[in-house]
Structure 1
Amino acid sequence: MNSDPASSSFSDPQAVARYAEGPPRTVPGFASLHRMTTLLLAERVPATGRVLVLGAGGGLELKAFATVHSGWSFDGVDPSSEMLGLAQRTLGPHAPRVRWRQGTIEAAPHGPFDGATCLLTLHFLSRAERRKTLAELHRRLAPGAPLVVAHLSMPSEEEGRSVWFSRYASFAVASGVESAKASTAGAAMRKHLTILSPEEDELALHEAGFSGVSLFYAGFAFRGWVAYA
């Protein structure tokens, strides 16, 4: 999913049509994040494995996974029907390999899955929703299966947080986003998203039952971890 805090835009047809333009301009190393996620999954997901993708709207990570691993099948879950429609179009010939589910984690089958991802999504959830979501992800994974997550994560203190939001905006502007729009997006994130510190993010994974929690990605305001059920 997108890092845009205005989640209502996921039902706006014009915003959905422009979705693919957004993440590469605001998330440092966006394509490499997908490549690394694919490699981390492949360490443990078998050739004919089943992968749960939570926050699958848009289909960008699904396309990255499906293109490299022809034997994998997927369950793609997202609350926005419009974004799921975009994902199906994005996947093209790979779309039949995905079981599409509209909703939150509760809409996902019980598995067990061989791996799961939740990219650029958890910062949309409250602390309580995040705890529940991580626990439900853990419950749906086979023992030892990998979970890969990535989202906004930065220090809790105001001074440190301001520095990272400034860097977020600078990267967006350097990628072609208008300065005013980048500043507005940063302000909206501060107001609407639940952004934990890296320490809190790791603790949340441990509390959900995951082990082997390791940071594998850091791109200015964004961080990503791999953990195992």
Structure 2
Amino acid sequence: MMRDHDSPGLPTPHKTASAFTGDAVKSYLEGPPRQVPGLSSLHRMATMLMAERTPDNGRVLVLGAGGGLELKAFAEAHAGWTFDGIDPSADMLQLARQVAGEHSSRIGFHQGGIDIAPEGPFDTAVCLLTFHHIPVEQRPEILQQIRRRLKAGAPFVVAHMSFPQDEPGRSMWIDRHIAYGAPDGGDPSRQENARTAMRERLHILAPEDEEAMLRAAGFSDVSLFYAAFSFRGWVACA
């Protein structure tokens, strides 16, 4: 997890880290819109893709729900959907409650990992800006647990950082990501700290490896729907 919210361009410190508390939580809402190109459009696209196969009274699983930005967007778009939001951080879940506001009555908040999620079956699932914080060796089990909680043919929408991992491509994309998050330049030492954090703490895969992992977990019809600088998003079917 990335906890230095003051570092320009640092990858969005999401939702998967139980130590994400205090001032880091308060400043979280400022990070994603600055660091993720077209964040509101990503939420809209995800909502549209989920709605293609989700009924008006659909049940939605949201992994990495802390912060509540996507929960709020989905709930505003579909008044009949109910949600189960999963996140390891109690503070981030509390923030999600605040952000979701009046929609919180339709949301179940669950502290922990995917293993504590309700069994479902769910009509759809989504995981945004989270998987690049999860070690690669843990992802297959998480993806399999998501899939088995979904109805047959249900959509799964996922988006996070993904770019080539061979050099010099990897270093180039890290530099681009840092620069995008700090359009005014910023403190060079803070930018270097952000580069080091990306190299050492994030778990980023090339797009082709992301797609292969989804298929290996049993998802089909894997399709790229979002490509914005250092981020990629896919929709797949259970």
User: Structure 1 length as normaliser, TM-score?
Assistant: 0.94
Query: Does the C-alpha gap of structure 1 residues 153 and 77 become closer, same or farther in structure 2, counting only changes over 3 Å?
Result: same
The answer for the alignment partner of 2:158 in structure 1 is 149
Question: Is 2:236 the counterpart of 1:227?
Answer: yes
Which of residues 59, 62, 71 is equivalent to 1:53?
A: 62
What is the Cα deviation at residue 187 of structure 1?
Answer: 2.0
The answer for the alignment partner of 1:86 in structure 2 is 95
What is the Cα deviation at residue 21 of structure 1?
Answer: 0.2
The answer for the alignment partner of 1:33 in structure 2 is 42
Q: What per-residue deviation string (whole Å, max 9, x for no partner) do you get for residues 16-56 of structure 1?
A: 01110001111111111111101110111110000000000
Question: Is 2:170 the counterpart of 1:133?
Answer: no
Q: Distance in 1 between matches of 2:185 and 2:53?
A: 38
What is the Cα deviation at residue 178 of structure 1?
Answer: 2.9
The answer for the alignment partner of 2:5 in structure 1 is none
**RMSD in angstroms over aligned alpha carbons?**
1.9
The answer for the alignment partner of 2:186 in structure 1 is 178
The answer for the alignment partner of 2:21 in structure 1 is 12
Query: Does the C-alpha gap of structure 1 residues 9 and 163 become closer, same or farther in structure 2, counting only changes over 3 Å?
Result: farther
Q: State whether residues 211 and 222 of structure 2, in contact with CA within 8 Å, keep that contact through their aligned partners in structure 1.
A: yes
What is the Cα deviation at residue 173 of structure 1?
Answer: 1.2
Query: Does the C-alpha gap of structure 1 residues 35 and 187 become closer, same or farther in structure 2, counting only changes over 3 Å?
Result: same
Identity %: 54
| Structure 2 unaligned blocks of 5 or more | 2-10
Query: Does the C-alpha gap of structure 1 residues 177 and 36 become closer, same or farther in structure 2, counting only changes over 3 Å?
Result: farther
Q: Distance in 2 between matches of 1:5 and 1:77?
A: 12
User: Structure 2 length as normaliser, TM-score?
Assistant: 0.91
Question: Is 2:220 the counterpart of 1:211?
Answer: yes
Which of residues 63, 66, 73 is equivalent to 2:72?
A: 63
Q: Runs of 4 or more off by more than 3 Å in structure 1?
A: 5-10, 179-183
Determine which structure has the larger helix proportion and give its number. 1
Letter of the structure 2 residue corresponding to residue 198 of structure 1: P
Letter of the structure 2 residue corresponding to residue 56 of structure 1: A
What is the Cα deviation at residue 137 of structure 1?
Answer: 0.5
Q: Distance in 1 between matches of 2:17 and 2:73?
A: 26
Which of residues 200, 203, 218 is equivalent to 1:191?
A: 200
Question: Is 2:118 the counterpart of 1:109?
Answer: yes
| Structure 1 unaligned blocks of 5 or more | none
Counterpart secondary structure, 1:11: coil
Count of aligned residue pairs for this structure pair: 228
Q: State whether residues 16 and 88 of structure 2, in contact with CA within 8 Å, keep that contact through their aligned partners in structure 1.
A: no
